[in-house]
Amino acid sequence: MQRNTVQRQIILDTLKKFATHPTVEEIYEEIQKSHPAISKTTIYRNLRQLVQGGQVGKVVLPDDAERFDKRTDRHYHFQCKSCGELVDVDINYPDGINEKVQAKYGVQVDEHDIIFKGICSQCKKNL
């Protein structure tokens, strides 16, 4: 297990403040307000270690910056195609979905991500 450094704890605490799924840049900007000595490189390195250690989730979106998730439980996401907002979707995972894909295609599935895309409720109001 990795040791919890002061910088790592600051990064975790900052991530937990976000209601969204922030990028490294957003985390960096927030940390700079109270801890200007922490570099972006330090944040990148620690986030990578936190993801590897299972303490933080990472959401990879095509054509977008990596985003980080304070939730580490299994859940899906919804991204608005208009404003780009990324939110958690709390629905049950279909039972055996990884196994069904493995059986049908002869592959080994370690994990999967599903991101629903559409227009969020706020953007729908503005249409």
In b/e form, how buried is each residue of 21-54, taking b as 16+ CB within 10 angstroms? bbebebbbebbeeeeeebeeebbeebbeebbeee
pLDDT of amino acid 1: 47
19 and 60 fall within a common domain? yes
- C-beta separation of 66 from 58 below 8 A: yes
81 and 109 fall within a common domain? yes
84 and 47 fall within a common domain? no
When pLDDT is averaged across residues 13-32 and rounded to a whole number, the result is 96
Does some domain include residue 1?
no
When pLDDT is averaged across residues 38-64 and rounded to a whole number, the result is 93
- C-beta separation of 47 from 39 below 8 A: no
Q: How far is CA 109 from CA 13, 23, 53, 100, 101, in A?
A: 32, 27, 20, 10, 7
- Reference 39, options 59, 24, 58; nearest CA is 24
Q: How far is CA 6 from CA 29, 76, 104, 127, in A?
A: 18, 31, 47, 46
Q: What CATH number does the domain containing 94 carry?
A: 3.30.1490.190
pLDDT of amino acid 94: 85
When pLDDT is averaged across residues 39-52 and rounded to a whole number, the result is 95
28 and 11 fall within a common domain? yes
Does some domain include residue 64?
yes
Measure the CA–CA gap between 127 and 21, rounded to whole angstroms: 25
Share of the chain above pLDDT 70, in %: 97
Number of folded domains that form the chain: 2
Q: What CATH number does the domain containing 36 carry?
A: 1.10.10.10
- Note down the domain range covering 47: 6-69
Say if residue 51's pLDDT is above 70. yes
- C-beta separation of 98 from 57 below 8 A: no
When pLDDT is averaged across residues 75-81 and rounded to a whole number, the result is 93
